[in-house]
């Protein structure tokens, strides 16, 4: 009976000590994390300021000058006309296979096989049309 | 024992019991007083004995331009202090601190070798040095990190930003107007202490992180602000002027793209600056605008339908209004003159003719609708209303109807002037100017929408006025503002400066307000050059500044000449 009581008391003691130790360790860790958070907050503010200082307008101006950079002496705007981009696009054109990719080539082959010639012949595929109009669309170019 | 002595004994006992009872009552009362009435207070006092809380100062919210460039932020700097009674050896401590604080050890030792409870050794110590000192753990030496407001662009936009004082309060500009929002929430860190003052790790503790104030993202463009300040400084030097103001706005929304005045100051070193430099002349100082005000008069005349741009009047070179003779700026008489020509050649007689034609009631109604005589409502501290005298006011005189028509005897702020003209540029809407585009909080972003205050004139009147002003730049008095290839609407002014008993015979304020492209404006600019020595006229002093800035804005904003722009559209 006495032995059982002794073991029980030891267990309770061990349990209490373990808990107390765990609480202390966690409290210490929390304290360190809070300090670290504060430290990082201060450091982050400092870095943000250093970046802004490096990006300072007058500093950039001073650094740019020796590199030959400065305000443009002359700016010329060119208007480039394009007829292709303004041409209406038919739905069939957009749906027809382009022939560029594997699936398109297979379809073209089947069309030639079945109908003698590809349906899309003489028309532009959607991807061609997009590419072409992108290359030629009305745009204002800035020449400096 | 006789009955008499027994009775005496009973009386004594009764008195004693009464005294005890009274004392017991007093004690009970005191116990109730301390244990019940002042319980909380005592608990707090007891807690203070073993529990210490340290306030964590919050970072003030940052201020950024429209592209995210930092204009104001907080960094942390350390304050180093010592408690002399806790020092191990003052001389040794001084020797340890001297190289870090870059001060002679003798000077520090003199501070440390005192009986004072606490001594401040240094303030505004850089973060890395402060942390080094804190990490050394020198007994009796403490280091507290404190936020410090800093402006990385130094003088840039100083009047607009304002500054933060030593106690953390915002003064002037945005710092004052948004002080409550920017300052954030302080945090705290507390814990139980042992009798020697050291924190008990296993004790009860708390940590509430400080909350940084929300950031303000402005409508201001740092690059445009830089260009504006560069042009302003150059003009002041070139014309020998005493000061000046330039404002750039988006006329469609009222968003301020740049606002600068000269002389400037560095808000990082506000304590070295004369107080009068803190005031933002763009909204806190008034002036008599002079001829830039004429579009308001003509706008009123056109909008009431009393005249059209082609309506003519006979310009005899002078007109009598309320007993005062009003003459043209060049003392000339132009005979039969159209309303368009009146504005193109900036004729005082014509302006007075128009104001008297529509009458005082309608004229002042339009003046007020254009926003003169009341604050614009801009989100900056220190805005004033200006002075507009109207019929019925004790100081109003009939001759004011004539002089007010060309901007004399009326006081406006530069911001009111540009905002009123923006109403012509955008088709007749008076906008509320604003500088904060969004408030960035942790829980989300609050976007500020443009506010239309009222329709001032009809879109048709605005279009007619714009057309007249474009002609004024092409062939009229404002031709030095013309930029090749662009349609620009602008009006110059040469404002006289009132002094007691009349007007200053020497000095003027040369000004211009204009926008471009005239048919679809991307910006509106106001230029005021104060007291130029080289020449007094707005047309010769302010117009070239406008031209230079407008040219740079066309390039920066990628606005092609009308020929290209209209062909693209």
CATH number of domain containing B144: 3.90.1310.10
In a domain, B113, yes or no: yes
* Whether B448 and B544 share a structural domain: yes
Distance, in Å, from the CA atom of B64 to the CA atom of B558, rounded to the nearest integer, reads 23
| Whether residue B263 has pLDDT greater than 70 | yes
Phi/psi of residue B192, nearest 5 degrees: -75, 140
Burial letters for B506-519: b for 16+ Cβ neighbours within 10 Å, e otherwise?
ebbbbbbbbbbbbe
| Whether residue B568 has pLDDT greater than 90 | no
Characterise B517 by phi-psi region: left (phi > 0), alpha (psi -120 to 50), beta (else): beta
| Whether residue A115 has pLDDT greater than 60 | no
Q: Is A102 helix (H, G, I), strand (E, B) or coil?
A: helix
Q: At a CB cut-off of 8 Å and minimum separation 6, what does B458 contact?
A: B303, B428
| Whether residue A63 has pLDDT greater than 90 | yes
B211: tokens are 């909350």
pTM of the model: 0.81
Determine the residue among B145, B194, B204, B560 to mutate to test chain A binding: the one whose Cβ has the most chain A Cβ atoms within 10 Å. Answer: B560
Q: Which of B451, B95, B69 is nearest to B224 (CA)?
A: B69
Distance, in Å, from the CA atom of A120 to the CA atom of A97, rounded to the nearest integer, reads 7
> Exposure of B1 by Cβ count < 10 A (0-12 exposed, 13-18 middle, 19+ buried)?
exposed
Distance, in Å, from the CA atom of B509 to the CA atom of B497, rounded to the nearest integer, reads 7
Chain B: nearest CA to A113, how far in angstroms? Answer: 47
Distance, in Å, from the CA atom of B107 to the CA atom of B111, rounded to the nearest integer, reads 7
Are the CB atoms for B538 and B494 separated by under 8 Å? yes
Residue B116 pLDDT grade (very low, low, confident, very high; cuts 50, 70, 90): confident
CATH of the domain at B280: 3.40.710.10
Are the CB atoms for B511 and B544 separated by under 8 Å? no
B69 near A CB under 8 A: yes
Distance, in Å, from the CA atom of B409 to the CA atom of B77, rounded to the nearest integer, reads 51
Q: What's the mean pLDDT in B390-417?
A: 94
* Whether B476 and B394 share a structural domain: yes
In a domain, B198, yes or no: no
Distance, in Å, from the CA atom of B267 to the CA atom of B265, rounded to the nearest integer, reads 6
Chain A: nearest CA to B564, how far in angstroms? Answer: 6
Q: In degrees, to the nearest 5, what angle opens at C-alpha B452 toward C-alphas B449 and B453? A: 130
In a domain, B187, yes or no: no
Domain boundary among B148, B165, B198: B148
Mark yes or no for CB contact B568/A138 under 8 Å: yes
pLDDT tens digits for range B532-545: 998 888 889 999 99
Q: At a CB cut-off of 8 Å and minimum separation 6, what does B194 contact?
A: B50, B200
Classify residue B260 by its DSSP letter.
E
Q: What is the pLDDT of residue A133?
A: 33
In a domain, B369, yes or no: yes
* Whether B137 and B257 share a structural domain: no
Chain B, 221 to 250: residues with Cβ < 8 Å from chain A are 222-223, 226
Chain B, 151 to 210: residues with Cβ < 8 Å from chain A are 152-154, 156, 189, 191, 199, 201-203, 205, 207, 209
Q: Say yes or no: ipTM exceeds 0.95.
A: no
| Whether residue B48 has pLDDT greater than 50 | yes
Chain A: nearest CA to B467, how far in angstroms? Answer: 25
Of A34, A53, A75, the CB nearest to B207: A34
* Whether B113 and B252 share a structural domain: no
Kindly list the residues from chain B whose CB atom is less than 8 angstroms away from the CB atom of residue A28.
Answer: 201
Q: Is B86 helix (H, G, I), strand (E, B) or coil?
A: helix
Determine the residue among B56, B125, B202, B548 to mutate to test chain A binding: the one whose Cβ has the most chain A Cβ atoms within 10 Å. Answer: B202
Mark yes or no for CB contact A57/B145 under 8 Å: no
Q: Which of A26, A38, A20, A40 is nearest to B205 (CA)?
A: A26
pLDDT tens digits for range B427-452: 999 999 999 999 999 889 999 999 99
How many structural domains compose chain B?
Answer: 2
- Cis ω on the peptide bond leading into residue B263 (within 30° of 0)? yes
pLDDT tens digits for range B291-311: 999 999 999 999 999 999 999
Q: Is B448 helix (H, G, I), strand (E, B) or coil?
A: coil
Are the CB atoms for B278 and B382 separated by under 8 Å? no
| Whether residue B32 has pLDDT greater than 70 | yes
Q: Which domain holds residue B135?
A: 73-148
Report the Cα B150 to chain-centroid distance in Å: 16
Domain boundary among B118, B148, B178: B148
Domain boundary among B93, B118, B148: B148
Kindly list the residues from chain A whose CB atom is less than 8 angstroms away from the CB atom of residue B145.
Answer: 38, 42
In a domain, B337, yes or no: yes
Residue A108 pLDDT grade (very low, low, confident, very high; cuts 50, 70, 90): low
Mark yes or no for CB contact B73/A34 under 8 Å: no
* Whether B262 and B126 share a structural domain: no
In a domain, B468, yes or no: yes
* Whether B253 and B370 share a structural domain: yes
Q: What is the pLDDT of residue A124?
A: 34
């Amino acid at each position: 009976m006495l032995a059982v009581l002794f073991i029980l008391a030891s267990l309770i003691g061990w349990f209490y000590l373990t808990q107390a130790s765990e609480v202390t360790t966690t409290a210490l860790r929390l304290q360190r994390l809070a300090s670290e958070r504060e430290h990082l907050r201060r450091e982050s503010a400092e870095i943000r300021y250093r970046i802004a200082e490096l990006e300072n307008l007058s500093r950039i101006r001073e650094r740019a000058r020796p590199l030959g950079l400065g305000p443009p002496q002359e700016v010329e705007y060119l208007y480039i006309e394009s007829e292709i981009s303004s041409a209406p696009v038919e739905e069939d054109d957009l749906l027809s296979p382009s022939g560029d990719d594997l699936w398109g080539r297979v379809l073209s082959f089947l069309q030639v096989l079945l109908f003698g010639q590809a349906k899309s012949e003489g028309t532009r595929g959607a991807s061609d049309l997009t590419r072409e109009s992108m290359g030629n669309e009305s745009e204002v170019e800035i020449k400096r | 024992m006789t009955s008499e002595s027994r009775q005496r004994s009973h009386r004594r006992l009764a008195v004693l019991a009464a005294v005890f009872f009274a004392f017991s009552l007093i004690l009970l009362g005191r116990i109730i007083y301390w244990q019940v009435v002042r319980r909380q207070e005592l608990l707090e006092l007891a807690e203070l004995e073993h529990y210490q809380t340290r306030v964590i100062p919050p970072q003030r919210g940052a201020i950024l331009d429209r592209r995210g460039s930092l204009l104001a932020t907080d960094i942390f700097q350390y304050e180093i202090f010592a408690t002399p009674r806790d020092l191990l050896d003052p001389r040794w401590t001084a020797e340890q601190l001297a190289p870090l604080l870059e001060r002679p050890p003798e000077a520090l030792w003199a501070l440390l070798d005192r009986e004072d409870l606490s001594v401040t050794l240094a303030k505004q110590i850089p973060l890395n040095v402060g942390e080094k000192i804190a990490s050394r753990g020198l007994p009796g030496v403490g280091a507290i990190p404190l936020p410090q407001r800093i402006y990385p662009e130094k003088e840039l936009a100083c009047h607009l930003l304002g500054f933060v004082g030593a106690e953390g309060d915002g003064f002037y500009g945005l710092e004052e107007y948004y002080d409550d929002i920017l300052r954030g929430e302080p945090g705290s860190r507390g814990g139980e202490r042992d009798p020697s003052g050291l924190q008990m790790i296993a004790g009860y503790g708390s940590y509430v992180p400080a909350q940084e104030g929300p950031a303000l993202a402005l409508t201001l463009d740092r690059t445009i602000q830089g260009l504006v300040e560069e042009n302003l400084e150059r003009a002041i030097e070139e014309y020998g002027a005493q000061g000046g103001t330039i404002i750039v706005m988006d006329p469609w929304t009222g968003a301020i793209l740049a606002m600068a005045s000269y002389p400037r100051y560095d808000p990082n070193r506000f304590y070295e600056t004369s107080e009068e430099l803190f005031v933002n002349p763009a909204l806190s100082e008034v002036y008599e605008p002079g001829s830039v005000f004429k579009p308001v008069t003509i706008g009123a005349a056109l909008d009431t339908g009393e005249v059209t741009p082609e309506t003519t009047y006979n310009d005899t070179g002078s007109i009598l209004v309320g007993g005062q003779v009003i003459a043209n700026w060049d003392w000339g008489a132009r005979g039969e003159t159209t309303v368009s020509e009146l504005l193109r050649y900036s004729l005082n007689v014509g302006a007075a003719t128009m104001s008297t034609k529509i009458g005082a009631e309608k004229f002042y109604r339009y003046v007020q609708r254009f926003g003169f005589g009341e604050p614009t409502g801009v989100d900056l501290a220190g805005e004033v209303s200006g002075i507009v005298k109207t019929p019925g006011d004790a100081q109003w005189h009939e001759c004011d109807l004539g002089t007010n028509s060309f901007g004399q005897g009326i006081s406006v702020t530069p911001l009111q002037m540009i905002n009123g003209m923006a109403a012509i540029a955008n088709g007749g809407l008076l906008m509320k100017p604003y500088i904060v585009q969004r408030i960035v909080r942790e829980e989300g972003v609050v976007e500020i929408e443009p506010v239309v205050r009222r329709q001032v004139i009809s879109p048709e009147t605005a279009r007619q006025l714009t057309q007249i002003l474009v002609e004024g730049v092409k062939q009229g008095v404002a031709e030095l503002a013309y930029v090749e290839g662009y349609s620009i609407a602008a009006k110059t002014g040469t404002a006289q400066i009132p002094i007691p008993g009349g007007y200053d015979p020497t000095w003027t304020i040369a000004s211009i307000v204009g926008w471009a492209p005239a048919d679809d404006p991307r910006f509106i600019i106001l230029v005021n050059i104060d007291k130029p020595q080289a020449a007094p006229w707005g047309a010769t002093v302010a117009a070239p500044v406008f031209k230079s800035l407008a040219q740079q804005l066309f390039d920066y904003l990628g606005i092609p000449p009308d020929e290209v722009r209209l062909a693209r559209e």
